[in-house]
Structures are given as C-alpha cells and as structure tokens.
A and B are shown apart, each in its own frame.
Chain A
Amino acid sequence: MKTDHDIKSKLAQTGYLADEALGVALQLMLTLQRPLLLEGEAGVGKTETAKALASALGTQLIRLQCYEGLDATSTIYEWNYQKQLLAIRAREHDKVSASTIEKQIFSEDFLLRRPLLQAISQPESPVLLIDEIDRADEEFEAYLLEILSDFQITIPELGTIEAQSRPYVILTSNGTRELSDALRRRCLYSYVAFPDHQRELQILHMRMPGLEEVLADQIINFVQNLRKEDLEKKPGIAETLDWAAALGGLGIKSLSDDIDKVTASLICLLKTQSDLESIPREVVPRLAGKAA
C-alpha cells in the first residue's frame, strides 16, 4: 500500500511541496479514482497541483480552461469541416454514392478531439485538469457530471466511446459562482489555504536555491504580514517567487536596506491600484520591521 508520503515525496521531487491535507486528498483521489475538487483563493497553487501530479506520475496533463459559454464543440469534439468539404470536393468525380462519402467523412480521421474526449481515449490514465469550473455555466456543469460518472461520450455519427483508461480528474474553483451540490457530491473536496510560514519558506528555498537565508526569511515574513492587511487581492505563492526574483535582480540583501527600492518592487506583489495605494512607503518598514 502506498502512503501519502509517497505521493508527497514524488511531488516534492518535481518541485511542488504539498501540505498534509492536500497529500491525503491526492492519495485518496488516486486510490478511489474519484475526481478531486480544489477550492481556494487565487494564487495558492491549485493549478500547479495538477501539473506537478502529472509530472510526478509521469503521465500526460490535459487541461481544460473553463469560461462562460463553453460548449460541447470546444470541450468534447468537433468535426473538421474544412477537411470534410475538401474530401467531398475531391471525390466529386469518383461516382461514389452519398452514403459512402458520408461514412468516410464522419470517421475518426475527420474528428477533432477536444480535451474531454482526449482524456478518455488515452491508453494510460492522464491527469485531466478542469480549471476554474466556476467560470463555466450551469449547462456545462450538468454535462460534466455525466462524463465524470460514466466516463463515456456518445457521438451520434460514431456511437459511444468508452474510456480506455480512467483519467485522474482535478477540478479547481475560485468561488465566483456556487457549484451545484450534485457536482460537489461526486467529488472529493479539499480547501487549499495559503501556505504557512515554514512551508512557504521551503517552497522559496526549493524554487530559488541561491537565495540567502536571512533575506528569504524576511521575504516570507513580509508576505505573510501583507496577507493580513485589508487587500483586494492577496498575493499568492507565484507573486512571492516573482518578488524574491525581483529583489535578487535589484541586488537587495536585506529588506531594511533600501526602503525606496523595496516599495517600488511591491508591484510584483500588489496587482491593483488601490492595493498599491493602501501600502505606501511609510507602511513598508512596519511590515518589514515586523519581519525582522
């Protein structure tokens, strides 16, 4: 039996540090073969989880980015109309019957596979990432339920296509819309919070090994303090890494060295005008000071 340390250490090898809860959730997803719904604020690394899982398992990652108005032609399959038209034209003088042509042009060669169909027709289980499911509308959610429970897709011209292997499904949501209870019940659930001080420090060290101990510690303290402020958009892990890289680029050795430069570099962390205004130069030493 595999323990969650297995999957956690495998993820760590690919450069992704999962916390205890996420490790258990991923392990359960693998053993129970049920979809996993990840919720949490933007920037806590939900999408990254799926990418890391795919490379840890050594399988393909198939990603479906959801948006409003997403429909079957862009998620499941579509016929290649240009190719079909060409094929019809090419056979115009061959004196073949219409039904023969029909059979030819509605075959697998003319099928454009979109992410969901791709995911169920892989010989090896891929990781299927359905990103920001809350952005898609209710109709799509209902359709997705069907696929997630049966793992088969029906194409009128070809018949039913059964899954060759069961994909590992990860759904992510930012909570812009309430998801239906039906979908929630089909899935395992995990809420991903911002990492605590220690784990974020580990992540920083893993991603930027050259960073000095003192500065790394200061950076994490600063960001953790910043998240406690009243902000519109709290900085995520990616922002922390960006900022650390920026500070490195500016040649800053300690946050208390050059307040002006540090303040200027905050554009890596704060992504709206009002957030930038709410952390003026005077506040920076306080946040950094708490850090020191």
Chain B
Amino acid sequence: MSATASTPVTDRLIGFIDHLRANGFTVGPQESSQIADHLATHALAPLSRVRLEFKTMLTGDRDQWQRFDDLFEAYWQTTGRTRSSARQTYSPDIRKPHRQAPVWQQHLSPEDIRQNGETPQRETLGRENAEGEASGRLIAATHTVSQKTDLKHIVDPDEIRAAEELALKLARALRYRLSRRVKAAKKGNRIDLRRTIRTALPRGGEPIELFYRATPAKPVHIIVFLDVSGSMKHYSRFFLQFVKGLVCSWLHSDAFVFHTRLINVTDAVRDRNSARAMTRLALMAEGFGGGTKLGACLGVFNRQYARKMASSRTVALILSDGYDTGSPEDLASELTRLKRHVRRLIWLNPLLGWENYAPVTAAMQAARPHIDHFAAANTLESLAALEPQLAQL
C-alpha cells in the first residue's frame, strides 16, 4: 500500500468511497489505495471510462453493479440528494425502544407488544423470576398442560421460546444428509490410496493396512414458506418464531412469507435482535391478514428464486392452513414445478390437529398428491412428533 498524499483528487475520492459505504458497499482500504494508485499511474481517461473502471473495482455483486451508475453520477456530478442521516449507524450499544408496527399489533397480545416495544429483555426475566420463586412447581405443571393447548392460545414467552427450541430440534433432525465430499474415516466405501501406500512402504509396498475415505453428513437446505394470511392470524406469531428458530440455526436456509404476495424475509429473520426482526417482518408483510394466493406465490418463487436457491438437497416446508383464494389448478401446477426443484415437500397444517377437521378445501385436495409429508402443527406436541418423521425423509 502506498501512502498517497492528500490532494483535492484523493480527498474527493475518499469522499466517494465514504459515499459508497454509506450506501451499503463493502469497500476496504485496500480497494481505496488501489484506485488511488491506478489513477496516479494512468493518464486521465474520459469520464465514462473512469466510471467503468471504478465500477469493476468497487462493486461486488449484481445489485451493486446495477446501483453503481446512479451513485457515481450523484456524487461526481452532484445530482443526488444529501442524505440527512448519512452518519447515523446502528450501534449495538445504544438500545432504542423498538416501536411495534401497527400491522403487527393484532398478532400479538398486549403484553407482547409492551415487552417488545419498550424494554425487551428485562421485563420478561423479571416476571419469570418472580413467578419462579413464588410457585416453582406450578410452572412445571402449567408447562405440561400447555404442550397440549392449541398454539393459538400461546402467548407466554416461555412457550414462545420452547417453540424456537423445537424448531432447532427439527432443524437438527433434517440436518444429516450425505454429501459428495470425501474425508478420511475409519470405515468407508472408498480406499484412501494416499495413506494406504504411505504406510505400506516399510512393508515393501504390501498394502496390509487399509485406510478409507467416506462421505460425511452435510446439512440439507431448508426453504420455509409461511402463510400469514387472515385465516392464519392466530398462529402466525408462533410460527414466525418457529421460522426464526429454523433459519437462525442454519447456515443454509431461506424463509418466505406469503399472503397475496410472496416476500423473501430471510434477511429480516436472521436479525439477531428479535424485536427488530419482528418489526421488520411486520413491515415487509404489509397486507398481512388478507387473502391467500398460494399458487401465484409459489409461481413467483418458481420463476424468480427456485433456480438460484433450490438444489437436490433442498427441503421445502410450507406452513399453511390451505384456505386459498386462488385457483386449485394453479396451485397444483405450481406445486408440480416446485417438486422438480426440491427434494422433499413438507406441508404443516395447524388445522389438521383440530377435531372433526378434514382437509377438504379445494386447495388442500389439489395439493395432497404432491406433498411428501403432511402433518398437523397446532400444538407443540404435534410439532415435536414430527422430528423422527423428518429424520427419515
């Protein structure tokens, strides 16, 4: 790295790199000095060429590639607006109370809103301790009962946490699948020639002791589709937590919510701050509580995302009650296409656990033939029962 003297040009350049960083580009000092060096050693080229050079050096993916031209013009030709909050960063030390978005409120009990809204962690803990000291046994008792209560009654933070843990367990059950990469192992189906020959040397090249290589387990990839339409309103809080559990514990998983539109929420769900995650989710799922167009939503997935995301190791998990306002034919054809992209298709239906419920809606009827595993998901128990079944898939 060469120390470049501060000149008007380098100052402007540093300003430009700051400007890119403020817009979410990852540009390090290495890139900055590289550009400065490049400008210093090369004759000044026309602006269009310089723009392309900068673009090649400073962008990292398609999104940045597409945004770069506007950012470039905004800075060098001062056509852009000044960002009032350019210096404002999200510091983990400063805890701001997170406002719950109004759309979210109907899905949470007032208590939850208060908790998530003002002092997230502390209040929960305080309450827990108080109860624990007063009536330790009672908690255990209510806990077992609640395992059987319908999920729509669950608002207790303990149980929400239990949901997240359960999600972790399920994730683990799905986790172990064969990969194609081989590693040294005690037993395996391939001989590790390299090690075998090395150890055979002292014995005149006689391979007496054999070493093996095997394919170790590799995680599957999960894609979750969560129905957040009106009919699922009572369950969505719980399931969002469940989805959060699935997505966080995995290196490789994606999450979508859908009602009349399909929204990719992977980034929002990955947010470590649970309250912020929920707020972001709520904002993204605008129109939350409306109708459902599952067929159309899966169509969007098949066209836009499937090719990129799905592979032979993908398990698609649909959480929906099957009350669909779209046409069942659409749903069936989109499911057929989805099946071609993924290895397994699992449908969890919270209504299935209800007494006298039969999956007779037109959508459910159309979807049944395409589903590899169809199960109830209305109590923690029913979700826990899934674990061994998923492990066999």
Q: Which residues of A does B touch, CB under 8 Å? A: 1, 4, 20-21, 24-25, 28, 31-32, 36, 39, 68-69, 71, 79, 81, 84-85, 88-89, 92, 98, 101-102, 137, 139, 175-177, 179, 181, 184-185, 188-191, 230, 232
CB < 8 Å: which of B28, B197, B202, B308 contacts A175? B308
- Given the known interface contacts A68-B180, A84-B197, A101-B201, the answer about A1 and B42 at a Cβ–Cβ threshold of 8 Å is yes
Please measure, in the bound complex, the distance between the C-alpha atom of A177 and the C-alpha atom of B309, giving whole angstroms. 7
Tally of chain B residues near chain A (CB < 8 A):
38
Q: Are A191 and B62 in contact (CB under 8 A)?
A: yes
- Given the known interface contacts A24-B53, A176-B308, A181-B60, the answer about A88 and B201 at a Cβ–Cβ threshold of 8 Å is yes
Given contacts A24-B53, A101-B201, A185-B26, 15 further A-B contacts (CB under 8 A): A21-B55, A24-B49, A24-B52, A24-B56, A25-B52, A102-B201, A139-B181, A176-B308, A177-B308, A181-B26, A185-B60, A189-B65, A190-B65, A191-B66, A230-B303
- In the complex, what's the smallest C-beta–C-beta distance from A86 to chain B, in angstroms? 9
| B57 beta carbon closer than 8 Å to chain A | yes
CB < 8 Å: which of B28, B55, B179, B194 contacts A79? B194
B contact face: mostly helix, strand, loop, or mixed: helix
Please measure, in the bound complex, the distance between the C-alpha atom of A71 and the C-alpha atom of B311, giving whole angstroms. 20
B residues within 8 A CB of A89? Answer: 205
Which positions 176-215 of chain B face chain A at CB distance < 8 Å? 179-182, 193-194, 197, 200-202, 204-205
Please measure, in the bound complex, the distance between the C-alpha atom of A191 and the C-alpha atom of B62, giving whole angstroms. 6
A residues within 8 A CB of B59? Answer: 189, 191
A residues within 8 A CB of B181? Answer: 68-69, 71, 137, 139
A residues within 8 A CB of B66? Answer: 191
Q: Are A188 and B307 in contact (CB under 8 A)?
A: no
Q: Are A191 and B65 in contact (CB under 8 A)?
A: yes
CB < 8 Å: which of B38, B62, B193, B197 contacts A32? B38
- A selection of 11 A-B contacts at a CB cut-off of 8 Å is A20-B52, A24-B49, A24-B53, A39-B62, A68-B179, A68-B180, A69-B180, A79-B193, A79-B194, A85-B205, A92-B204
Q: Which residues of B does A touch, CB under 8 Å? A: 26, 28, 30-31, 34, 38, 42-43, 48-49, 52-53, 55-57, 59-62, 64-66, 179-182, 193-194, 197, 200-202, 204-205, 303, 307-308, 311
A residues within 8 A CB of B197? Answer: 79, 81, 84-85
Please measure, in the bound complex, the distance between the C-alpha atom of A83 and the C-alpha atom of B26, giving whole angstroms. 49
- CB-CB nearest in chain B for A26: B56
Q: Are B179 and A81 in contact (CB under 8 A)?
A: no
Q: Are B61 and A184 in contact (CB under 8 A)?
A: yes
Please measure, in the bound complex, the distance between the C-alpha atom of A185 and the C-alpha atom of B201, giving whole angstroms. 45
- CB-CB nearest in chain B for A183: B60
- Given the known interface contacts A32-B34, A181-B26, the answer about A232 and B303 at a Cβ–Cβ threshold of 8 Å is yes
- Given the known interface contacts A28-B57, A69-B180, A188-B57, the answer about A176 and B194 at a Cβ–Cβ threshold of 8 Å is no
A residues within 8 A CB of B34? Answer: 32
A residues within 8 A CB of B64? Answer: 189
Q: Are A88 and B62 in contact (CB under 8 A)?
A: no
